[in-house]
């Protein structure tokens, strides 16, 4: 199955003529959109998906999006492959500026070197045109909140074993990860 590269949700919002007090947007995915989210993010199921967003002007030409994404999903345990119910509750706080904005440029110090602070704020993301896709932004934070290795609490991976077949039947013994080194000798 070919995977769409642009996501499963789309909710374009005109931001060039945004009211000064902003817009409140509520997105609730219907069954078709939840199925698209399930397939796109390779989940077992998406039982619900809701996003409550506040889109307000920021500085001269920028946009600030704040809100939450909440979802109930079902994933497969990485050990047992059994279904696991999970809840997504992701906070959104992002800044966007037009591509040609000076606010989109990375700050430089007096020597012309790039200044990046791990603790500092992120630089705003850029957009082109006169709209932002609020659905795609909500989906991005949804994806970031999905546990990449879901595991049932009681699930334990069995240690690897080597199975040998002989005349007396099969024999299982634990694999020693250093067994291949016993014949290795350092050449001087």
Backbone angles phi, psi at 143, to 5 degrees: -65, -40
d(CA 176, CA 173): 9
**At residue 84, does pLDDT exceed 60?**
yes
Per-residue tokens: 158? 């069995």
Neighbours of 55 (CB within 10 A): 22
**At residue 5, does pLDDT exceed 60?**
no
How much is the mean pLDDT over the chain? 82
CA nearest 129: which of 100, 94, 93, 92? Answer: 100
- pLDDT computed for residue 154 by the predictor: 77
- 53 touches 138 (CB < 8 A): yes
pLDDT, tens only, 92-117: 999 998 887 776 666 666 676 666 66
**At residue 2, does pLDDT exceed 60?**
no
- pLDDT computed for residue 121 by the predictor: 65
pLDDT, tens only, 114-129: 666 677 666 778 888 8
d(CA 121, CA 141): 17
What are the C-alpha distances in Å from 30 to residues 33, 34, 61, 124, 134?
Answer: 5, 6, 33, 31, 16
pLDDT, tens only, 143-158: 999 999 998 887 666 6
Query: Mean pLDDT across the stretch 79-95?
Result: 92
d(CA 123, CA 114): 12
Per-residue tokens: 68? 């939450």
- pLDDT computed for residue 1 by the predictor: 34
- pLDDT computed for residue 45 by the predictor: 96
- pLDDT computed for residue 112 by the predictor: 65
Under the banding of pLDDT at 50, 70 and 90, the label for residue 74 is very high
The set of residues, in sequence order, having a beta carbon less than 8 Å from that of 16 and lying 6+ positions away, is 130, 131
Count the helices and strands in the chain (H runs, E runs). Answer: 2, 9
pTM of the model: 0.74
- pLDDT computed for residue 124 by the predictor: 79
- pLDDT computed for residue 103 by the predictor: 66
pLDDT, tens only, 13-70: 888 888 889 999 999 999 999 999 999 999 999 999 999 999 999 888 889 999 999 9
Per-residue tokens: 53? 């967003």
Please indicate whether residue 88 or residue 180 has the higher confidence score (pLDDT).
Answer: 88
């Amino acid at each position: 199955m070919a995977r769409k590269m642009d996501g499963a949700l789309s909710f374009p919002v005109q931001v060039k003529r945004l009211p000064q007090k902003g817009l409140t947007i509520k997105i609730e995915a219907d069954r078709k959109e939840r199925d698209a989210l399930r397939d796109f993010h390779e989940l077992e199921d998406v039982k619900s998906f809701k996003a409550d967003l506040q889109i307000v002007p920021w500085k001269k030409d920028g946009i600030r999006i704040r809100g939450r994404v909440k979802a109930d999903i079902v994933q497969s345990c990485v050990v047992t492959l059994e279904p696991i119910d999970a809840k997504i509750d992701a906070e959104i706080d992002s800044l966007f500026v037009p591509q040609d904005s000076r606010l989109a440029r990375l700050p430089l110090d007096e020597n012309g070197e790039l200044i990046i602070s791990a603790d500092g704020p992120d630089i705003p993301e850029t957009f082109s045109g006169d709209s932002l896709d609020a659905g795609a932004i909500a989906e991005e934070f949804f994806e970031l909140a999905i546990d990449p290795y879901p595991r049932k609490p009681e699930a334990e991976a069995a240690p690897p074993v080597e199975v040998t077949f002989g005349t007396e039947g099969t024999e299982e013994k634990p694999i020693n990860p250093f067994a291949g080194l016993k014949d290795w000798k350092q050449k001087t």
